[in-house]
Amino acid sequence: MVADFKKILKGLDAREYAPVYLIDGEEPFYIDMLTEYFEDKILQPAERDFNLITLYGKDTDWADVVNACRRFPMFAERQVVILKDASQLKGLNELVAYVENSAPTTVLLIEHRFKKVDGRGKLGKVVKQKGVYFTSDKIRDEHVPGWIQAYGKETGFAVGERESQILATFLGNDLQKIANEIAKVRINVPDEPALTAEMIQKYIGISREYNVFELPETLTSGDRDKMYRMLSYFLSNPKSSPMPLIIGSFFNHFSKLYQAYFVMGRPEKEAAAALGTYPNRFRQIMGTARKYSLQRIEYCLLLLGSYSAKTVGIDSNVNDRELLKEMIGKMDMVLSYTG
């Protein structure tokens, strides 16, 4: 999805306009960005009064959309017609005839937010042939931390692994909300190159203590009091910690510990680069890895594979809360076993 979005932006920036764009889906973040681009960047400011036409599905007839697209631009090379809330337009599929024979001086944007265009109709198929069709899907919870890190890189405000997990845990998969919160921090610390947990706590109000990134580290630290507090919190707030996100966090943690065994003895900078982390974080990982045998870490990784399958109903009909308690209990036994 992100790659398709960037491809569309690249074409727009190069002024290589398709006659028709259809954008739909449940995630408004990318839909809003594209709509704003059509409103603000295709036409020059002096051209917009006469050549930017915005229509709304609930207040418009399909024939009005076609008529708007068929008119000639005034004092400009092209005009832009934006149909917002297209899902509310009666007779949406009547636009097929226009798409098949569109006006060469019109750029039409059909904005169909919050759901996809009916696949049984012809409109989506024709737009794919004649123009650009983009679907903005909701991002899955376990992919949110990676999205946050990529977004931080693109906006010049680096977001680390730990910080992305904190934001994902407490903000969910609402991309606009995440972007707004990051921007809020950026306004307060415009010269800082990277987002830190301290900034998150100060400017967003999210405590770093209760997040899924800290849970595996707390387990391997041996701080049982803190681990039980965190586990109790996650069991009481299941929406803040879906099992796929927790398993992903644990897998990332134990994978780093596993890899640490194969870089021991190498120069610190070289070893940190091999693990894909920075020196301070590298020293934390190495310190934890030395506490446990490779066999125990391998066994924990095997447990994670087993519980990953159980969360989707394979060999289990237990709810996520019970699976979480069971998984943490077994890992604690493996790590604390003294025999």
- pLDDT digit of tens for each residue in the chain (339 aa)? 788 999 999 999 999 999 999 999 999 999 999 999 999 999 999 999 999 999 999 999 999 999 999 999 999 999 999 999 999 999 999 999 999 999 999 999 999 998 899 888 899 999 999 999 999 999 887 788 889 999 999 999 999 887 887 888 778 788 999 999 999 999 999 999 999 888 988 898 876 666 777 889 899 998 888 888 888 888 887 776 788 888 988 998 999 999 999 988 888 888 888 887 767 778 888 999 999 999 999 999 999 999 999 988 888 888 888 999 999 999 999 998 765
**DSSP-assigned beta bridge partners for residue 106:** 79
Would you state the structure tokens that stand for residue 277, as one six-digit string? 């982390």
Strands 52-56 and 79-84: parallel
Q: Where do the domains of the chain lie, and which CATH numbers do they carry?
A: 2-135 (3.40.50.300), 139-208 (1.10.8.60), 209-339 (1.20.272.10)
Determine the number of helices (DSSP H) and then strands (DSSP E) in the chain: 17, 7
pLDDT of 339 reads 59
Distance CA 122, CA 330 (A): 54
Token couple for 255: 């994978």
- Classify residue 44 by its DSSP letter: -
> Contact at 8 Å (CB) between 55 and 68?
yes
Planar angle of CA 230, 234, 240, nearest 5 degrees: 125
Bridge partners of 81? 53, 108
Looking at residue 306, its amino acid is: S
pLDDT at 337: 77
Token reading at 179: 């972007």
The pLDDT value given to residue 52: 97
The length of the chain in residues reads 339
Helix or strand holding residue 330 (H, E): helix 320-336
Other residues' Cβ atoms within 10 Å of the Cβ of residue 129: 9
- Both structure tokens of 80: 């832009």
Distances in Å between the Cα of 78 and the Cα atoms of 10, 49, 69, 243 are 19, 13, 10, 51
Output the pLDDT for position 209.
63
> Is the Cα dihedral 317, 320, 325, 330 positive or negative?
positive
